[in-house]
Amino acid sequence: MMINMSPRIVEIIGPAGAGKTTLSRALSPCRKSFFVGNFPDVRKISNAPFFIRNGFQTLPALHKLPRGSSRKLTRREFAWLSILNGWSDILQKETKNKIVILDQGPVFLLTETREFGPEYLRNENADFLWQSLYSRWGNVLDMIVWLDAPDADLMSRIRHRDKGHVVKNESDETTFEFFARYRQAYERTISKLQANHSDLKILRFDTSQKSSDEIAYQLLFEFGTD
C-alpha cells in the first residue's frame, strides 16, 4: 500500500560489483509500487524526435567552448548531454503518483560526461553548462542510493562473473585506482547536486555488510511502501 503518493525519482549508483543488479532483483516482487526506468535509447527510432530536438538545443552551448588540444566529444557523450538537457521534463510527466527507480540515471550521466569526457568540458568555460544541469537535476531527483563495498570485494566480484568490465583483467593497483577515481568523481557530482537541492537524500549501503534483501526492505520503508 502506498502511504505517500507524491512523485519520487530515485537513482541507484555504485561501482561495478557493488550489487545494483542484485538489488533490482530483490525489489522485483514489489514492482506494483514503482517501476525501474532508464534514459532514452538513442538506437530506438521512436526516440529520434527527442534526440533531434535536444541535440539542437545542446549545440549552441558546446560551440561556445574553446577546445584547444582536447579530444572531440564522442557521439555517445553528445547523446548523453542531449538526454541531460531534455529527459527531466519527460520523467516528471511520467512519474505522477509513482516511484521511479533509475539505474544509470542523471548522476551517472553527469559524472561520466564531465569527469571522464573531453578535457574542455572540465574547464572553467564550461561551468555555465554544468551549473544549469546540476540545478535542473538537483530539483528533479529525490533520493540517491549509493551501493559500495571494500575494494577487494568489488574486484573479486568483477573477476568472478561472466560480465566484462574495463578493469576485469587489470592489476590490483590499477583496479583500486579506478575505484578511487570513480568514488571521487561521484562525490563531486553529488556535492554539486546537493548545493542546488539541500533536501536531496543520500542513502549509502555497504553490500559486504548488508544483504540485498535487507537493503530492499529499508528502501521500501523509505518509499512508504508495505
What is the domain-level CATH number for residue 78? 3.40.50.300
Q: Which residues of the chain have pLDDT under 70?
A: 1-7, 94-97, 226
Domain assignment of residue 1, yes or no: no
pLDDT of residue 3: 41
190 contacts: CB under 8 Å, gap ≥ 6: 107, 144, 146, 200, 202
pLDDT of residue 226: 59
Total domain count, the chain: 1
pLDDT of residue 7: 47
- Cross-strand bridge partners of residue 34: 99
CA-CA distance, 158 to 67, in Å (whole number)?
Answer: 36
pLDDT of residue 95: 67
Domain assignment of residue 208, yes or no: yes
Range of the domain at 159: 8-223
